[in-house]
Amino acid sequence: MRQLLGNKEIALHYGELPLGCKLCREGAKLVVFVTGQCSDSCYYCPVSEERFGKDRQFANEKEATSLEDYVMEAYRMNALGAGITGGDPLLSLNRTILLIEKLKEEFGSGFHVHLYTSGRYATRDALLELKRAGLDEIRFHPTREEFLDAVERAVTVGLEVGLEVPALPGDGEKIVKLAKWAEEKGVKFININELELNERNSGPLNSRGLRISHGLAGASGSYETALFILQKLRDSKLNVHYCSSVYKDVVETRTRFIRIGRKDRKPYEEVNGEGLLVKLFIRTTDENSSLEELGEKTEEGYYVSQKFLEDIRKELGTRAEIWLIEEMPDAKRLKVSERKV
């Protein structure tokens, strides 16, 4: 019997984690959203309203309008790979092929690229083109039984193949059966994702009696379904990975933010344990202060490192208003908090 590794509240796995997952744990994967268009209508789809059904592209949180935008974002975070998602990336196959080629050309063959698809458009020709372009790993969410043929085709053309499915309450036995079929066909792994409830999919999930009951966004019954599947697959040779909603936020997103922040921060910004950029903002009318030497001057005031807080207080006293600011290190620099200190 295999040993179950990990933390049941965060992530669990039997066997070796896929390389794509290992790099995500390190925050080293560029998140590529190549299109929001998809021909499936999954009631549980977590894609945001901003992107759902729209032919928009994003590199991490930055909207992309060219291949160069993806490359620059990969450099900004010192990425070691990319995960291509949507929508269904195969609906924009040419764009996806060109992007894989561009990333491999820019960063070398060791830059690991994986891709998510339902399999609806995964013809043999499409799969061969993806392999030729350098795709390292393909993950199928077969929303219909007939899409399993695409999984088999991907194995036969020599791609590294996995399944990635949500732990839908009531689908435990169905997913176990799918995993056993996949093992027989030469699939390398199955990732079981906790079903997430968010602003866009809350209506369809609530109408089915599903509420947030685990972690940050885990839908009721999904966690228990995942544990059931893991128990049933403990003797399987298939690598099995359970990924919780907590894991995606607390581990994947946080480590990616930390990585971006350390690479892209300004001299007066510090990266905290949550991956947020921390700095001071000072507003003062004192023209003799040394603030400009400590940081950056703007029309509104000065940005400086929080390590100078006490020195600034001693120098300016009540002649300065000081705020401690936390921002995300994404392209939008979204402000998370601001408090007077």
pLDDT digits (tens, 9 = 90+) for 261-294: 999 999 999 999 999 999 999 999 887 678 888 8
Give the whole-angstrom CA distance, residue 242 versus residue 24.
14
Residues 103 and 235 grouped into a single domain: yes
The number of distinct structural domains making up the chain is 2
Find tokens 């994967």 and name the residue.
Answer: 29
Secondary structure (3-state) at 32:
strand
Can you point out the beta strands (E) in 265-334? 270-271, 277-284, 296-297, 302-304, 320-327
Residues 205 and 277 grouped into a single domain: no
Residues 308 and 244 grouped into a single domain: no
* DSSP character at residue 47: -
Residues 246 and 292 grouped into a single domain: no
Give the whole-angstrom CA distance, residue 11 versus residue 17.
11
So what's the pLDDT on residue 263?
93
Burial of 315: CB neighbours in 10 Å, binned 0-12, 13-18, 19+: middle
So what's the pLDDT on residue 288?
65
Q: Does the CA dihedral 216-219-220-225 come out positive or negative? A: negative
Contact 164, 139 (CB under 8 A): yes
Domain boundary among 239, 260, 281: 260
Q: Which helix (H) or strand (E) holds 335?
A: strand 335-340
* DSSP character at residue 196: B
The distance of Cα 281 from the centroid of its chain, to the nearest Å, equals 31
Give the whole-angstrom CA distance, residue 238 versus residue 84.
23
Residues 279 and 232 grouped into a single domain: no
Domain boundary among 201, 226, 260: 260
pLDDT tens, residue by residue, 214-261: 877 899 999 999 999 999 999 999 999 999 988 887 889 999 999 999
- Say how many C-beta atoms besides its own lie within 10 A of residue 170's C-beta: 9
Residues 139 and 223 grouped into a single domain: yes
Residues 328 and 200 grouped into a single domain: no
Domain boundary among 228, 260, 292: 260
Find tokens 């001057």 and name the residue.
Answer: 297
Q: Does the CA dihedral 165-168-172-173 come out positive or negative? A: negative
Contact 321, 282 (CB under 8 A): yes
Residue type, 203: G
So what's the pLDDT on residue 213?
87
| CA angle centred on 232, ends 211 and 210, rounded to 5° | 10
Compute CA distances 169 → 197, 207, 240, whole Å. 13, 14, 18
Residues 116 and 200 grouped into a single domain: yes
So what's the pLDDT on residue 174?
97
Contact 75, 82 (CB under 8 A): no
Residue 315: which domain range? Answer: 266-340
Q: Provide the token pair at 309.
A: 């807080």
Residues 34 and 157 grouped into a single domain: yes
* DSSP character at residue 40: -
Compute CA distances 52 → 8, 48, 207, whole Å. 31, 6, 20
Q: Provide the token pair at 140.
A: 């199928």
Residue 250 CB contacts under 8 Å (≥ 6 apart), including other chains = 10, 216
CATH (domain of 51): 3.20.20.70
Among 270, 256, 287, 252, which residue's Cα sits nearest to residue 327? Answer: 270
Secondary structure (3-state) at 234:
coil
Among 207, 204, 220, which residue's Cα sits nearest to residue 170? Answer: 220
| Phi, then psi, of 64 in degrees rounded to 5 | -110, 140
Residues 177 and 249 grouped into a single domain: yes
Q: Provide the token pair at 334.
A: 């979204």
Residues 211 and 315 grouped into a single domain: no
So what's the pLDDT on residue 158?
97
Residues 325 and 189 grouped into a single domain: no
The per-residue pLDDT string of the chain (341 residues; one tens digit each, 9 = 90 and over) reads 789 999 887 899 999 999 999 999 999 999 999 999 999 989 999 999 999 999 999 999 999 999 999 999 999 999 999 999 999 999 999 999 999 999 999 999 999 999 999 999 999 999 999 999 999 999 999 999 999 999 999 999 999 999 999 999 999 999 999 999 999 999 999 999 999 999 899 999 999 999 998 877 899 999 999 999 999 999 999 999 999 988 887 889 999 999 999 999 999 999 999 999 999 999 998 876 788 888 999 989 999 999 999 999 998 988 999 999 999 998 889 999 999 99
